């Protein structure tokens, strides 16, 4: 009788589905922040240096999401690094959201999907320069 009940429950209960991946969206007040650092040759140079040091290993030298660690990252997290050159990605993210995401990072199920860089890049001004550099990917042809 117990086995019949178990079979009936399996048939009648909805099939277990993988939980949807949590969305990684910045709070509204963070999204609305404007970049206080003007994009200039100097800010882009600093932003490029920070990107090469902290971001290129996953996002790639040209921002395509194809860095040396991208494949391992995708296998470990089931998420691929964002292609920062993608027009849709560039359009959907405000400067404030990019700043927030690179500052606080993202964890899922205890795994680091993107590390937080607020400690590694402690000056907010430098993180805004990194935002300027990330934005430059959207301007390349």
Query: Domains, the chain, ranges and CATH?
Result: 27-137 (1.10.760.10)
At a CB cut-off of 8 Å and minimum separation 6, what does 134 contact? 47, 51, 55, 63, 84, 98
Cα–Cα distance measured from residue 127 to residue 81, given in angstroms and rounded to the nearest whole number: 19
Token readout for 51 is: 């990107």
Alpha-carbon span 67 to 86, nearest angstrom:
15
| Stretch 75-100: mean pLDDT | 94
Mean pLDDT throughout 11-17?
A: 50
What pTM did the predictor assign?
0.82
User: Which of 7-16, 109-118, 123-132 holds the top average pLDDT?
Assistant: 123-132
Mean pLDDT along residues 48-77:
94
Please state the rounded mean pLDDT for residues 123-141: 91
Report the DSSP pairing between strands 106-108 and 111-114.
antiparallel
Is a pLDDT exceeding 90 seen at residue 17? Answer: no
Q: Please tell me whether residue 44 adopts helix, strand or coil conformation.
A: helix
pLDDT at site 22: 58
Q: What is the pLDDT of residue 2?
A: 54
Does residue 35 have a pLDDT over 70? yes
Residue 14 reports pLDDT greater than 70? no
Q: How sure is the predictor about 7, in pLDDT bands with cuts at 50, 70 and 90?
A: very low
């Amino acid at each position: 009788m117990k086995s019949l009940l178990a079979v009936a429950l399996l048939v009648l209960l909805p099939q277990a589905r993988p939980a949807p991946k949590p969305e990684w969206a910045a709070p509204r007040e963070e999204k609305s922040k404007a970049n206080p650092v003007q994009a200039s040759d100097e800010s882009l140079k600093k932003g490029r240096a920070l990107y090469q040091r902290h971001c290129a290993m996953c996002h790639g030298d040209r921002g395509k999401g194809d860095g040396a660690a991208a494949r391992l990252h995708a296998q470990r997290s089931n998420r691929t690094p964002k292609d920062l050159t993608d027009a849709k990605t560039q359009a959907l993210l405000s400067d404030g959201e990019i700043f927030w995401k690179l500052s606080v990072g993202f964890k899922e199920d205890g795994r680091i999907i993107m590390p937080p860089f607020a400690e590694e890049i402690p000056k907010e001004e430098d993180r805004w320069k990194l935002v300027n550099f990330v934005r430059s990917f959207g301007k390349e042809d």
